[in-house]
């Protein structure tokens, strides 16, 4: 099935509509909450939490014997939270550094999860198939009830974010100030972390434990490049996330045997790459262009100030000089001279040049500025 | 035990030991997550190498994958340098993208490749004995044994040769640079060793569990010792022990060997985390409680010393006055009298000679800003600690 057929089917097929809606909502809520994770420098916490959810998924299945999404989500939520608090405990109470704590929880929980998962797979129980969709995600398994759950959780977290918007914003940018203003930083911290854990857990079915963290990070990192305003960033991240979800699901749906997770992550990564390169203010491309432009301008000014020094020695500033004389000092380029002439700062006449009034004035100003900044 | 069982345990132990050694330095240099990034992002390298050679263990494959690992490190550092995102976000963006490419490549070529996505995550330790190293018709044992064995030998050799440089640059980078060791070469050298080890271990234990093998033994031993040599030896011991007991756990449960090894590692770490003598959580919490009580004792002694009048020194008055609950005040009182710092008669507290000297000295230290000295004084004077 190619993409066009897929889009056509999208308007007719109910299941497909459900799946698309589900991934869009998921992407949006991940982008929204991911913005906070990225700004709080908790990017990798998401990675640890999503891996830490695996044993919870497997245990919920072993204990309850059901693949009911809600039971499994609760299992994932509990083990994700245990992982999160263990990381905090390790950082606070031992000399292990945050990176080690994250890596430990991530790999150990995942290892336990895989042990349980392989144990389940060997059991003579027909019901066990399909648990491994939680590894790389399978959007096709989304049911309308899952979408309702996704939608309501997203709505709740959105409302809470709005309600605590001012406090959270303050917390992101100046934690100490928030504390001195008397806000309960610990409560806010636990609030935002819990919602991040919740978003991760909800995404597991679609994106999978292995790659879920990217779903949280990538839209937010992309959105960060386009704006310096928090609400714009959150909004953009939600939009990027939703599009990554929908496009990723469409691509993986049209190729057989492709899990949704990796495709969504790659689509989101494309958003990141484009943003890194093309964003007007922070992007690499425009930064480089600005750098080159600055360099050129600096060269121009250098030539101009050299001319100024020469012109200063004469009473008549528009007294013509040999071009060659510039060479004896620091050099010049033909291009720079032409550029200066175009800006009407100097006049060229064969092998002679002389400064215009404008040019002299500008150079004098330049000179003043330089001496001032040198002081 | 059958011979293949022995071989699996041998391979697992060697993999674990080979991972544990670079892991020690990753943990000490705060680069644990680099192992996570490398282990995920070498996947496309491994898959492409596999398409070319059709052999997971060929040297070309290993070199290609290791190169991918180093490319990842460079890419992460490049993104960090642009300043567009924070350091950890850079890591978090690069490796899932690379891993996704690998997974998609596998999925798209599922028919040609017997490279299973599950194997990518947990490896296929159980199958390693079937891939034999055969040179001119002589069976030399499993290939993985040779590959990981040589990686281990090389790692140990490098470790012995560059031990001094690694040690100094890990603990004092400034000194190392001043002494003329290039931090860049050491950094990338370590990255290369980690990368090659990860690739070698990948086949056996998969992408994510490599991380556990690298950092869990080191983190466990780090809670027990301050000595680098002990830490290296200890990590290897923990790693090998977990490898062998993990194998038997998996054998009993009939589940993934790599998963079981990680579970054992996790359990050992948890034990060290809780019960390590000075750095474990329990002893840290105990010490914190002790210190809190002793600080309260000091406050209490100073209060008594400050007040001549009897009513201020009355037991009942104290509860209200320093704002302590009765239970807490009682326990502080008990500690003070056990240490012969105070005497109580008719509910009025008086400092003994010892208590007076102690609080005088303590106040001297506080005003001189030498508070750490108070710790030594406590060692000297207290019969009972809080």
Nearest-CA distance B311 → chain A (Å): 37
Average pLDDT along chain B:
84
Residue B134 has pLDDT above 70, yes or no: yes
Whole-complex ipTM? 0.86
Better-predicted residue by pLDDT, B326 or B303: B303
- The alpha carbon of residue B360 and the mean position of all alpha carbons in its chain are separated, in whole angstroms, by 43
Cα distances from B22 to residues A220, B113, B154, in angstroms, run: 33, 31, 12
> A312: pLDDT confidence band, cut at 50, 70 and 90?
confident
Whether B70 and B105 map to the same domain: the answer is: yes
Tell me whether residue B89 is in a domain. yes
> A374: pLDDT confidence band, cut at 50, 70 and 90?
very low
The 10s digit of each residue's pLDDT in B180-193 is: 888 888 888 888 89
Dihedral, A89, A92, A96, A99 alpha carbons, nearest 10: 80
- Name chain B contacts of A278, Cβ cutoff 8 Å: none
Q: What is the separation, in whole angstroms, between the first and last Cα of chain A?
A: 71
Whether B254 and B319 map to the same domain: the answer is: no
Tell me whether residue B299 is in a domain. yes
Mean pLDDT for the stretch of residues A61-70 = 80
Identity of the residue in B91, B107, B258 whose CB atom sits nearest the CB atom of A258: B107
Q: Which pLDDT does position B202 carry in this prediction?
A: 81
The 10s digit of each residue's pLDDT in B158-168 is: 999 999 888 99
Tell me whether residue B386 is in a domain. no
Whether B361 and B226 map to the same domain: the answer is: no
- Out of B279, B302, B331, pick the residue that ends a domain: B279
What is the phi-psi region of residue A25: left when phi exceeds 0, alpha when psi lies from -120 to 50, beta otherwise?
Answer: alpha
Number of residues that this document lists for chain A: 375
Nearest-CA distance B287 → chain A (Å): 11
Residue A159 has pLDDT above 90, yes or no: yes
**d(Cα B386, Cα B370) in Å, to the nearest integer?**
21
Quote the number of domains for chain B.
2
Better-predicted residue by pLDDT, A7 or B179: B179
- Name chain A contacts of B266, Cβ cutoff 8 Å: 104, 108-109, 111-112
The 10s digit of each residue's pLDDT in B47-91 is: 888 888 777 667 787 788 888 888 888 888 888 888 888 878 888
Give the A:B interface size as CB pairs under 8 Å.
Answer: 201
User: In this prediction, what percent of chain B has a pLDDT beyond 90?
Assistant: 24
| Structural domains of chain A, ranges and CATH numbers in brackets | 3-282 (1.10.3470.10), 296-374 (1.10.10)
Whether B222 and B309 map to the same domain: the answer is: no
Whether B207 and B78 map to the same domain: the answer is: yes
Residue A370 has pLDDT above 60, yes or no: no
- Out of B246, B279, B312, pick the residue that ends a domain: B279
Residue A104 has pLDDT above 70, yes or no: yes
Identity of the residue in B36, B89, B104 whose CB atom sits nearest the CB atom of A262: B104
Tell me whether residue B385 is in a domain. no
Tell me whether residue B300 is in a domain. yes
**d(Cα B122, Cα B109) in Å, to the nearest integer?**
20
| Angle separating helix axes A43-64 and A212-224, nearest 10 degrees | 150
Whether B245 and B291 map to the same domain: the answer is: no
CATH number for the domain spanning B316: value is 1.10.10.10
Cβ distance A257 to B254 less than 8 Å, yes or no, reads no
Whether B273 and B333 map to the same domain: the answer is: no
Better-predicted residue by pLDDT, A208 or B240: B240
**d(Cα A50, Cα A157) in Å, to the nearest integer?**
18
The 10s digit of each residue's pLDDT in A171-220 is: 988 888 988 998 888 898 888 888 888 888 888 888 888 888 888 999 99
Q: Which pLDDT does position A65 carry in this prediction?
A: 76
Confirm if A157 and A28 have CB atoms less than 8 A apart: no
- Out of B260, B279, B298, pick the residue that ends a domain: B279
Whether B230 and B290 map to the same domain: the answer is: no
* B112 and chain A in contact, CB less than 8 A: no
> A363: pLDDT confidence band, cut at 50, 70 and 90?
confident
The 10s digit of each residue's pLDDT in B11-31 is: 999 999 999 999 999 999 988
CATH number for the domain spanning B83: value is 1.10.3470.10
Whether B19 and B58 map to the same domain: the answer is: yes
**What number of CA atoms fall less than 13 Å from residue A302's CA on the CB side?**
14
Whether B270 and B301 map to the same domain: the answer is: no
The 10s digit of each residue's pLDDT in B244-268 is: 999 999 999 888 888 999 999 999 9
Q: Which pLDDT does position B125 carry in this prediction?
A: 78
Mean pLDDT for the stretch of residues A137-154 = 86
Tell me whether residue B257 is in a domain. yes
Residue B113 has pLDDT above 60, yes or no: no
Mean pLDDT for the stretch of residues A220-238 = 93
Whether B259 and B293 map to the same domain: the answer is: no
Q: Which pLDDT does position A29 carry in this prediction?
A: 93
Cβ distance B96 to A276 less than 8 Å, yes or no, reads no
> A311: pLDDT confidence band, cut at 50, 70 and 90?
confident
User: In this prediction, what percent of chain A has a pLDDT beyond 70?
Assistant: 93
Whether B56 and B121 map to the same domain: the answer is: yes
Tell me whether residue B355 is in a domain. yes
| Residue B35 structural domain | 3-279
Q: Tokens for A349, please give them.
A: 């006449």
Tell me whether residue B325 is in a domain. yes
Q: Which pLDDT does position A332 carry in this prediction?
A: 65
């Amino acid at each position: 099935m190619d993409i066009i057929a897929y889009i056509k089917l999208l308007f007719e097929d109910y299941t497909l509509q459900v799946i698309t809606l589900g991934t869009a909502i998921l992407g949006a809520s991940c982008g929204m909450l991911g913005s906070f994770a990225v700004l709080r420098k908790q990017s990798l916490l998401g990675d640890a939490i999503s891996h830490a959810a695996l044993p919870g998924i497997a245990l919920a299945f072993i204990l309850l014997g059901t693949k009911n999404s809600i039971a499994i989500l609760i299992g994932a939520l509990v083990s994700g939270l245990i992982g999160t608090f263990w990381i905090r405990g390790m950082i606070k109470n031992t000399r292990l550094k945050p990176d080690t704590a994250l890596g430990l929880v991530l790999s150990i929980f995942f290892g336990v999860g895989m042990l349980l998962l392989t144990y389940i797979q060997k059991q003579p129980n027909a019901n066990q198939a399909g648990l491994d969709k939680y590894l790389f995600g399978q959007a096709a398994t989304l049911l309308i009830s899952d979408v309702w759950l996704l939608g309501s959780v997203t709505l709740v977290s959105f409302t809470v974010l709005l309600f605590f918007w001012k406090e959270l914003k303050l917390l992101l940018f100046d934690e100490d100030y928030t504390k001195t203003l008397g806000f309960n930083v610990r409560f806010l911290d636990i609030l935002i972390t819990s919602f991040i854990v919740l978003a991760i857990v909800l995404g597991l079915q679609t994106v999978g434990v292995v790659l879920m963290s990217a779903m949280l990070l990538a839209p937010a990192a992309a959105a960060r490049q386009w704006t310096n305003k928090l609400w714009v960033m959150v909004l953009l991240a939600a939009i990027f996330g939703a599009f990554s979800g929908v496009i990723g699901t469409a691509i993986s749906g049209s190729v057989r045997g492709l899990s949704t997770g990796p495709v969504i992550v790659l689509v989101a990564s494309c958003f990141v790459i484009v943003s890194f390169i093309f964003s007007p203010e922070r992007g690499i491309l425009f930064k480089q262009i600005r750098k080159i432009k600055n360099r050129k301008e600096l060269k121009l000014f250098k030539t101009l100030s050299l001319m100024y020094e020469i012109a200063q020695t004469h009473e008549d500033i528009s007294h013509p000089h040999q071009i060659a004389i510039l060479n004896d000092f620091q050099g010049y380029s033909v291009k720079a001279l032409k550029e200066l002439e175009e800006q009407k700062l100097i006049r060229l006449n064969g092998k002679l040049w002389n400064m215009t009034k404008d040019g002299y004035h500008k150079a004098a100003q330049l000179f003043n500025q330089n001496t001032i900044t040198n002081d | 035990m059958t011979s293949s069982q022995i071989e699996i345990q041998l391979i697992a132990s060697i993999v674990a030991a080979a991972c544990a050694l670079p892991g020690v330095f990753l943990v000490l240099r705060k680069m644990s997550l680099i192992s996570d990034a490398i282990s995920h992002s070498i996947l496309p390298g491994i898959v492409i190498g596999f398409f070319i050679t059709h052999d997971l263990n060929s040297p070309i494959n290993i070199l290609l994958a290791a190169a991918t690992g180093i490319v990842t490190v460079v890419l992460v550092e490049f993104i960090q340098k642009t300043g567009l995102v924070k350091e950890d976000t850079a890591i978090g963006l690069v490796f899932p993208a690379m891993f996704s490419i690998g997974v998609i490549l596998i999925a798209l070529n599922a028919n040609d490749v017997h490279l299973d996505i599950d194997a990518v995550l947990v490896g296929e330790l159980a199958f390693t004995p079937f891939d034999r190293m055969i040179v001119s018709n002589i069976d030399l044992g499993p290939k993985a044994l040779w590959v990981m064995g040589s990686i281990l030998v090389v790692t140990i050799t490098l470790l012995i040769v560059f031990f001094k440089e690694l040690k100094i640059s890990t603990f004092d980078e400034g000194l190392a640079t001043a002494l003329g060791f290039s931090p860049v070469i050491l950094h990338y050298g370590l990255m290369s060793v980690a990368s090659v080890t990860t690739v070698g271990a990948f086949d056996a234990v998969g992408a994510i569990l490599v991380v556990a093998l690298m950092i869990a033994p080191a983190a466990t031993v780090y809670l027990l010792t301050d000595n680098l040599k002990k830490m290296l030896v200890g990590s290897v011991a923990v790693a090998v022990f977990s490898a062998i007991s993990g194998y038997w756990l998996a054998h009993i449960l009939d589940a993934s060997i790599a998963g079981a090894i990680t579970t054992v590692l996790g359990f050992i770490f948890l034990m060290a985390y809780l019960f390590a003598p000075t750095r474990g959580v329990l002893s840290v919490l105990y010490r914190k409680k002790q210190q809190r009580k002793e600080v309260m004792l000091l406050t209490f002694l100073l209060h008594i010393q400050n007040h001549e009048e009897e009513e201020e020194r009355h037991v009942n008055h104290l509860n209200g006055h320093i704002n302590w609950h009765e239970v807490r005040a009682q326990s502080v009182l008990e500690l003070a009298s056990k240490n012969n710092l105070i005497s109580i008669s008719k509910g009025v507290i008086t400092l003994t000679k010892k208590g007076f000297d102690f609080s005088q000295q303590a106040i001297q230290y506080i005003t001189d800003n030498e508070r750490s000295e108070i710790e030594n004084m406590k060692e000297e004077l207290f019969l009972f600690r809080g």
